[in-house]
Amino acid sequence: MLKKLFLLTTLFSLFNLPALVASPSCGHAYVANEGSGNVSVIDTASEMVIATVTVGTQPFAVAITPDGTKAYVTNSMDGTVSVIDTASEMVIATIMVGSTPRGVAITPDGTKAYVTNLGSGTVSVISTASEMVIATVTVGTSPQGVAITPDGSKAYVANEGSNNVSVIDTGSEMVIATVTVGNVPTGVAITPDGTKAYVTNVGSNNVSVIDTGSEMVIATVTVGTNPIGVAITPDGTKAYITNAGNGNVSVISTASEMVIATVMVGTTPQGVAITPDGTKAYVTNLGSDNVSVISTASEMVIATIMVGNSPQGVAVGPCPAQGGFRRGKERKAPKAGLHPHRAPVRTHKHKGKK
């Protein structure tokens, strides 16, 4: 390893190339544990929890900046977003947003974070430089998932209560289109080429595929019961859908828009994230307090990792294009116990509706 590092450093010096710097979160998966008020940090090489970070009340979703230095966690009960420094694994800022924040996505340039507020029907736009809300956008009823196009020009917001998707222009911070989808849309993900958005519809047990050019639904794919989370592989060939009602994951071919595999995971799967190299999918299981790791080659579970209580969202840290060097020892935060002020049991857990 030292010889490899020396050779790479020499090459960068000789040819005046930019240094290959590994992001602090490279090789790490961040899991928001709704029931225990913390975030589990998983080393994706060893498949072990290496740190636990205490955040706000009922953390729901997590997103990592493109440079891998910060993780943004929505805390649905206290209306805040916790910002974690991924080098120290400590919370460095807490930002007030709207009522019941749920989804979060960060622009490709890393300058803004978009947070959906289910209780107030809005999206809070956070400047990642100042850690302050710089805009509030009114969308549909009970917004949940959010995803941003690869060019950073548009944000897609799934509105559970109005059965549609709001499309926000990130330049003007205004809604420029509204797309009707299935019943109780929850999750949304966009293909790497930016041409399609995949939306999970909890109430109709299917996935709506939106053409981002025409802002129209071009396909509807039937999956399992109560589909929640969605993630697309880096090469854009497959979409992974968590089915909360079946305890499995549907794998969709983005070419044929058909389910090509079904993978059994834990109880009440929710969030899903793919590693930067596309080899593994991490699935949070709300009902069994663990994470299933799926090999995207074999479509089989290759590891199961115990995390905190009621895990929800998950995000995997970015890595340099040609790999990189992960940092060593992690600094752990104290693990929090189960928070006494749990919200009423969400029908989302069993029925897929709020």
- Residue 38: is its pLDDT beyond 80? yes
Residue predicted with more confidence, 18 or 341? 18
Tell me the pLDDT band of 23, cut-offs 50, 70 and 90.
Answer: confident
Mean pLDDT of 260-275: 98
pLDDT number for residue 21: 54
- Residue 266: is its pLDDT beyond 80? yes
What pTM value is reported for the model? Answer: 0.86
pLDDT number for residue 321: 57
Q: Tell me which residue of 288, 310, 266, 282 sits closest to 43, measured CA to CA.
A: 282
pLDDT number for residue 8: 39
- Residue 310: is its pLDDT beyond 60? yes
pLDDT number for residue 270: 98
Average pLDDT of the chain to the nearest whole number: 88
Report the share of the chain in percent with pLDDT over 70.
Answer: 84
- Residue 323: is its pLDDT beyond 60? no
Mean pLDDT of 314-318: 96
pLDDT number for residue 25: 82
- Which of the following CATH numbers is that of domain 24-320: 3.40.605.10, 2.130.10.10, 1.10.8.590, 2.80.10.50? 2.130.10.10
Tell me the pLDDT band of 1, cut-offs 50, 70 and 90.
Answer: very low
- Residue 336: is its pLDDT beyond 90? no
Report the share of the chain in percent with pLDDT over 90.
Answer: 83
